[in-house]
Amino acid sequence: SQQGEEDPQALSIQEGENATMNCSYKTSINNLQWYRQNSGRGLVHLILIRSNEREKHSGRLRVTLDTSKKSSSLLITASRAADTASYFCAIPPGRRALTFGSGTRLQVQP
Amino acid sequence: SQTIHQWPATLVQPVGSPLSLECTVEGTSNPNLYWYRQAAGRGLQLLFYSVGIGQISSEVPQNLSASRPQDRQFILSSKKLLLSDSGFYLCAWTRGFELGNTIYFGEGSWLTVV
């Protein structure tokens, strides 16, 4: 089954900078979700974007979806040290379960 | 509101010993239930999912098994652990496979096989 693949694998930025991470996938999707995982914790849902949407905002998060390129991006603006975490995109492969990529590990330096 | 509980949070087990991880969901009925495993610094691997009592689908052949004895209870087991079973195990639930269903995760169980 397909899964999204995040890029880069790791990202280190300074507080106040923007962080951009990308997700690529291979087949058609109905929606794509982004999740966050603090170290040693479970994943938490951040945002869902449907295949007929190009962009979606939630607070400091901005997600885009380009179905022609089969890619999505997650932008965190004005990052904070508390944003340090791993970020995963998730693809629903039909009537089974969400599959996750390997994630982007974001480190925000105070 | 719905909550998911997973235990134990941490355990260290010798090779060849049995395993039982438990997960319960409260505040909903007939959830879809999942077990994922995450190796250190890696992504999530789907192990099992269940759409109802006694209905288990296995994604990866291995020495682990899952059971769903009650609607909101999901158990991950092994008769004999291997070193390669070490990892972070996450239980999760959704309301179904409908479009846009968010998946809710427990806090995870760290398993170290020594």
Residues of B with CB under 8 A from a CB of A: 32, 34, 36, 41-44, 46, 49, 57, 59, 88, 90, 92, 94, 97, 99-108, 110
Using an 8 Å CB-CB cutoff, list chain B residues near A44: 105
State the Cα torsion B75-B78-B82-B83 to the nearest 10°: 20
Quote the pLDDT of residue B42.
77
Q: Report the alpha-carbon distance of residue B108 to residue A101 in Å, rounded.
A: 18
Q: Which residues of A touch B32 (CB under 8 A)?
A: 97
| Residue from the list B41, B49, B108 with its beta carbon closest to the beta carbon of A97 | B49
Interchain proximity A50–B103, CB inside 8 Å: no
pLDDT tens digits, one per residue of A20-45: 999 999 888 888 999 999 998 999 99
When pLDDT is averaged across residues A3-26 and rounded to a whole number, the result is 93
Q: What is the pLDDT of residues A34-77, one digit of tens each?
A: 999 999 899 999 999 999 999 999 999 999 999 999 999 999 99
Report the pLDDT value the prediction gives residue A98, as an integer from 0 to 100: 78
Q: Which two tokens stand for residue A8?
A: 């880069």
A69 Cβ contact list (under 8 Å, min separation 6): none
The answer to whether the beta carbons of residues B64 and B84 sit under 8 Å apart is: no
Residue of chain B whose Cα is closest to the Cα of A30: B99
Q: Provide the token pair at A50.
A: 């449907």
Q: Which residues of B touch A40 (CB under 8 A)?
A: 88, 108, 110
- Report the C-alpha gap between B55 and B101 in whole angstroms: 20
CA distance B63 to chain A (A): 21
